[in-house]
Amino acid sequence: MYKKITEQDIKVFKDIFGDNNCFVGDEIASEYAKDEIGTIVSFPEVRVIAKDKYQVSKLMAYAYNENIPVTVRGAGTGLVGGAVPVLGGVLLDVTGMDKIIELDHINMTLRVEPGVLMLDIYEEVLKNNLFYGPDPGEKTATIGGTISTNAGGMRAIKYGTTREWVRGLEVVLPNGELITVGGKVVKNSSGYPLKEMFIGTEGTLGIIVEATLKLTSLPKYSTSLLVPFKETSAAVKAAALLIEKHVTPTAVEYVNQPSLKYSKEFLGKHMPHDNYDAYLLLSYDGTSKEALANDINIASELCMEYGAIDVYLIDTEERNSSVWTIRGAFLEAIKASTPLMDELDVVVPRNTIPEYLEYTEHVSKQLNMRMPFFGHVGDGNLHIYFCKDDMEEEVFAEKLKKAFDLMYDKAFSFGGLVSGEHGVGYAKKEYLARQIGPTQLELMKGIKKLFDPKNILNPDKIV
Ligand SMILES: Cc1cc2nc3c(=O)[nH]c(=O)nc-3n(C[C@H](O)[C@H](O)[C@H](O)COP(=O)(O)OP(=O)(O)OC[C@H]3O[C@@H](n4cnc5c(N)ncnc54)[C@H](O)[C@@H]3O)c2cc1C
């Protein structure tokens, strides 16, 4: 179906990217055949590192004519195989496009190349007393990757997901043409929302080569609360009630004893007050100390009213860093506790979380499989892990399929969706089709065909 890459093609790639930025065969390290979850493995025929958008445009014009598949890769921290070149071809690494181009104080925008890391964006805006809202857990992800997956993270409950923070994009289309969608403007009612098409579509419709991000003024004051509860259901019910009472935190994370244990083993550190079974970890921010203190007081009173055992104020830099470092390490700590795992990044209406988590425990017992979980309970987004432990590979594969089927069917019956923030990629295609049904699937396929008639850009993903 696709052309196999020849010596002549490699010569062309070396002309575009330079000999030092073009890797073939054994020169390609195994990390480029997978992403962070590691369950989907496929080597590209060639890996190239782009330094600017014109190289990307030249590559795509050539690949389009020659019918060669191209998959874009940011930092490879994705969890659904989105950046894995499952049909071979070229892996286009954009981490070399890492310039912060312009911070515009009047329009409050930041223009960046796609390979800029999130940690560099946070540092840049903070030193200018400004703020970028999305806060996905992995700070070494690229901005291009987070836009392409519409990444969420801890602050989504208050500040929304990446989509709400992208004002404009420059994109290379599958045929090599360069277009600009949106810009520095705040409002836009100008025709079909093409910019939106490149956000959350995982590099299947175009390659983001520049982004203009919205910034706001920095919420100067912030504090966290660590709130232990007797059991999971009390904690997650309290999270929904806090939001109902309009004391919306910046983050509402559910933390339980098993995740704390894995994290302690992984980091060798422990969190203060870590002897309870279930917690809410709340954070609040604001532009004045008084407003923040008011929110904290109301939230603390409400938590006690909703069954909290206590409310601990995490108000020193040391305590704050300890608690959030431990929370931030959950995924890697669970990964380190088993030779192989897979992940469910499901999102359900927040009022159904208690019942969904009860069901999770039921499935774990039914399948006799360890299924640790944690989640952004404020926005209904749960991360549930299926651990292989010492199971035989075939047994694990069978149980994994059953677990995904059961957990997704339950989520869909509650009005939930396949992915809250990690995307569909390659791993969740089957379940997207099941969730949206044939009419929407055909619409999505039609959109893909319009942007990419030869199906060369990140093929075999999403639809
Ligand atoms: C410890 C850990 C914590 C995490 N926490 C969160 C979290 O809180 N919230 C969250 O949403 N995610 C989280 N993730 C998942 C991951 O970090 C995000 O999906 C992130 O957006 C991926 O960025 P990346 O640069 O690594 O992209 P990659 O993994 O390289 O690629 C992801 C997808 O984007 C496409 N892509 C990359 N760059 C471009 C581009 N320039 N143009 C077009 N397409 C492109 C790829 O083709 C692929 O389909 C976490 C991952 C880990 C390992």
pLDDT at 315: 87
Contacts of 264 (CB under 8 A, 6+ apart): 270, 274, 326
pLDDT at 145: 98
Separation between Cα atoms, residue 202 and residue 242, nearest integer Å: 34
Instruction: Band the pLDDT of 147: cuts 50, 70, 90.
Output: very high
Residue having the nearest C-alpha atom to atom 28 of ligand 1: 76
Distance linking the first and last C-alpha atoms of the chain? 18
Burial of 288 (0-12, 13-18, 19+ CB in 10 A): exposed
The yes-or-no verdict on residue 361 having pLDDT over 90 is yes
Ligand 1 atom with least separation from CA of 79: 15
The counts of H helices and E strands in the chain are 14, 18
> What is the rounded average pLDDT of the residues 207-227?
96
Ligand 1 atom with least separation from CA of 74: 30
Could you report the per-residue pLDDT of 385-410, keeping only the tens digit for each?
A: 999 999 999 999 999 999 999 999 99
204 CA → ligand 1 middle, Å:
14
- The preferred substitution site among 149, 253, 281 for testing ligand 1, maximizing ligand atoms within 8 Å of CB, is 149
Separation between Cα atoms, residue 387 and residue 403, nearest integer Å: 11
Q: Does the Cβ of 174 fall within 6 Å of ligand 1?
A: no
143 CA → ligand 1 middle, Å:
8
In this structure, is the dihedral angle defined by the CA atoms of residues 15, 19, 23 and 24, taken in order, positive or negative?
positive
Q: Does the Cβ of 145 fall within 6 Å of ligand 1?
A: yes
Q: Does the Cβ of 250 fall within 6 Å of ligand 1?
A: no
pLDDT at 269: 86
Ligand 1 atom with least separation from CA of 206: 43
Q: Does the Cβ of 76 fall within 6 Å of ligand 1?
A: yes
Rounded to the nearest integer, the mean pLDDT of the chain is: 96
Q: Does the Cβ of 181 fall within 6 Å of ligand 1?
A: no
- The preferred substitution site among 77, 119, 198, 342 for testing ligand 1, maximizing ligand atoms within 8 Å of CB, is 77
Q: Does the Cβ of 150 fall within 6 Å of ligand 1?
A: no
- The preferred substitution site among 80, 121, 138, 347 for testing ligand 1, maximizing ligand atoms within 8 Å of CB, is 138
142 CA → ligand 1 middle, Å:
7
The yes-or-no verdict on residue 272 having pLDDT over 90 is no
Could you report the per-residue pLDDT of 18-67, keeping only the tens digit for each?
A: 999 999 999 999 999 999 999 999 999 999 999 999 999 999 999 999 99
46 CA → ligand 1 middle, Å:
21
Separation between Cα atoms, residue 313 and residue 228, nearest integer Å: 12
pLDDT at 1: 87
Q: Which of 140, 219, 136, 89 is nearest to 423 (CA)?
A: 136
Ligand 1 atom with least separation from CA of 143: 25
- Residue 222: its H or E element: strand 221-229
Ligand 1 atom with least separation from CA of 95: 25
Q: Does the Cβ of 210 fall within 6 Å of ligand 1?
A: no
Q: What percent of the chain has pLDDT over 70?
A: 100
The DSSP annotation for 262-301 comes to HHHHHHS---TT--SSEEEEEEEEESSHHHHHHHHHHHHH
Residue having the nearest C-alpha atom to atom 21 of ligand 1: 146
Residue having the nearest C-alpha atom to atom 37 of ligand 1: 145
Separation between Cα atoms, residue 276 and residue 230, nearest integer Å: 7
Could you report the per-residue pLDDT of 303-359, keeping only the tens digit for each?
A: 999 999 999 999 898 898 889 999 999 999 999 999 999 999 999 999 999 999 999
83 CA → ligand 1 middle, Å:
8
Q: Do 147 and 169 meet the contact criterion of CB atoms below 8 Å apart?
A: yes
pLDDT at 246: 82
Q: Does the Cβ of 93 fall within 6 Å of ligand 1?
A: no
